[in-house]
Amino acid sequence: MNASATMTADDGLPGGAGADGWPPPSPHSMPTTEQEREVTRPAGQRPPLSGPEPIGPPHPDIEEHLPSQPSEPAAQPSPDAVLIRRTLSAIEPIADKVASYFYALLFVRHPELRSLFPPAMDAQRDRLLKALLTAAEHIDNTAVLVDYLQRLGRGHRKYGTLPEHYPAVGESLIGTLDKFAASVWNDDTEAAWVRAYTTISQVMIDAAAADEVHSPPWWMAEIVEHELRTPEVAVLTLRTDQPYPFLAGQYAMLETPWWPRVWRHYSFASAPRADGLLSFHVKAIPAGWVSNALVNHARPGDVIRLGPPTGFMTVDHTTDSGLLCLGGGTGIAPIKALLEDVAEHGVRRPVEVFYGARTNVDLYDIDTLLRMQQRHSWLDVRPVVDRDGRLQLPGVIREYGPWNEYEAYLSGPPGMIRSGVNALRAVGVPSEHIRHDSVEELVAAGY
């Protein structure tokens, strides 16, 4: 997968982390609940959605944990999966109307939940619904679905989501599907959705409860240093109120005091440090609420909130294969963290870094990387400056190599990642050796 290495874009959407609370069960082997048993009820009456079982927590950033790769379809879809996918096909052409109605129904029936969402919903409107529908679509893929939902449940603790919020979202979802998928909606379809979301919500609730034992829902972090590298890029150093465990290559969500309940993703720009300080690179983007606040308004002494770490663009230290790192713009932040991680482990493995930017000014961290290159003979850093309006990193890597014995890490704009992956595959790098942020999440981020 991987999720969000740059995440210096303002509107990213990846997710929570923490130890898995329990072994992944199969949705079809979980203990039977009242909703999962055959229930006789009057025609037209909906099955009950009381208790904590039904749907996912009500926050628009729920899609943060969507799988970056479509799951492999089951050889023989279950009857519930067939009905669910038929529903999804029916509502796909009118997705905007479905999303609008879903939120209207949720807030009219449960106005107390409105405070869990950001003040402005226009940019976030369809994220909760999209994630719920995607989870249901993967109902037959236990490995993908359970891991996804466990991270989702853990990550949403920071929103204040409680088990009692799930039925409200479930009722609104069922009501919305009933209205907009009328052509395929019947008692069997409704029962399939209830069973699916009974499983979905319970996995999330259990994961959140397990995570609560050993991890806070968020950390308070004071800005101790704020350095403008360019008019648009700031390097922030933070000190958390309690120890913050993470791995180089991961990222976290940040919330500022200027935009309460608006969380955005940023990659750690350094490996874990002995002094416990954290570093982030933030680029202000047009209409980026959080990024503009962090670049243009934040100052030392300001306190922000930090969500749990997540992400899988980390180094495998059990091998000594070479690393090929492509970083575009502020996507160099997690690459720098990976280099520090390799250096700290003391293993002499070749590392090639291509640092792309549109102008020389945008190579804001090149001096840091060149100093690292001077200290480590295994490291080569090559700046790549755009000359004709197109980022040239993918083309440049074709001139070097071969790379088929390297692990590749890509971080930057979605276009760079897509073309970079294609270029790497074209020169023989296996797909399983290519790690990068979720392109879908970067697009959503407005990078």
User: What's the gap between Cα 204 and its chain centre?
Assistant: 16
Give Cβ neighbours of residue 299 (< 8 Å, ≥ 6 apart).
Answer: 223, 226
Assign 14 a pLDDT band (cuts: 50, 70, 90). very low
User: What integer pLDDT is reported at residue 120 of this predicted model?
Assistant: 62
* 8 in Cβ contact with 291 (< 8 Å): yes
Q: What percent of the chain has pLDDT over 70?
A: 77
User: What integer pLDDT is reported at residue 50 of this predicted model?
Assistant: 31
Task: State the Cα–Cα distance between residues 89 and 109, nearest whole angstrom.
Answer: 27
User: What integer pLDDT is reported at residue 402 of this predicted model?
Assistant: 85
Q: What angle do CA 25, 49, 161 make, to 5 degrees?
A: 70
Residue 44 predicted with pLDDT over 50: no
User: What integer pLDDT is reported at residue 70 of this predicted model?
Assistant: 43
Task: State the Cα–Cα distance between residues 404 and 288, nearest whole angstrom.
Answer: 38
User: What integer pLDDT is reported at residue 438 of this predicted model?
Assistant: 58
> Considering only 118-127, 144-153, 215-224, 395-404, which range has the smallest mean pLDDT?
118-127
> Considering only 56-65, 238-247, 426-435, which range has the smallest mean pLDDT?
56-65
Residue 59 predicted with pLDDT over 60: no
Give Cβ neighbours of residue 352 (< 8 Å, ≥ 6 apart).
Answer: 322, 323, 324, 325, 380, 382, 400, 406
Sign of the alpha-carbon dihedral angle for 314, 315, 318, 319: positive
User: What integer pLDDT is reported at residue 272 of this predicted model?
Assistant: 97
* 6 in Cβ contact with 334 (< 8 Å): yes
Pairwise pLDDT comparison (247 vs 73), residue with the higher score: 247
Assign 190 a pLDDT band (cuts: 50, 70, 90). very high
Residue 329 predicted with pLDDT over 80: yes
Residue 366 predicted with pLDDT over 60: yes
Residue 288 predicted with pLDDT over 70: yes
Tell me the pLDDT of the chain averaged across its residues: 78
Assign 53 a pLDDT band (cuts: 50, 70, 90). very low
Mean pLDDT of 360-373: 94
Per DSSP bridges, beta strands 406-411 and 322-328 are: parallel
Residue 388 predicted with pLDDT over 80: no
Pairwise pLDDT comparison (257 vs 161), residue with the higher score: 257
> Considering only 95-99, 177-181, 314-318, 397-401, which range has the smallest mean pLDDT?
397-401
Closest by CA to 148, choosing from 191, 100, 222, 200, is 200
User: What integer pLDDT is reported at residue 127 of this predicted model?
Assistant: 66
Model pTM score: 0.69
Assign 58 a pLDDT band (cuts: 50, 70, 90). very low
Pairwise pLDDT comparison (152 vs 355), residue with the higher score: 355
Q: Which two tokens stand for residue 307?
A: 């969500």
User: What's the gap between Cα 375 and its chain centre?
Assistant: 34
Residue 390 predicted with pLDDT over 80: no
Residue 403 predicted with pLDDT over 80: yes
User: What integer pLDDT is reported at residue 389 of this predicted model?
Assistant: 53
Pairwise pLDDT comparison (328 vs 20), residue with the higher score: 328
- The backbone region for 207, taken as left when phi is positive above 0, alpha when psi lies in -120 to 50, beta otherwise, is alpha
Closest by CA to 155, choosing from 307, 351, 270, is 307
- HSE (side-chain half, CA atoms, 13 Å) at 385: 8
Pairwise pLDDT comparison (346 vs 3), residue with the higher score: 346
Mean pLDDT of 88-103: 90
Pairwise pLDDT comparison (418 vs 178), residue with the higher score: 178
Residue 324 predicted with pLDDT over 90: yes
Q: Three-class SS of residue 263?
A: strand
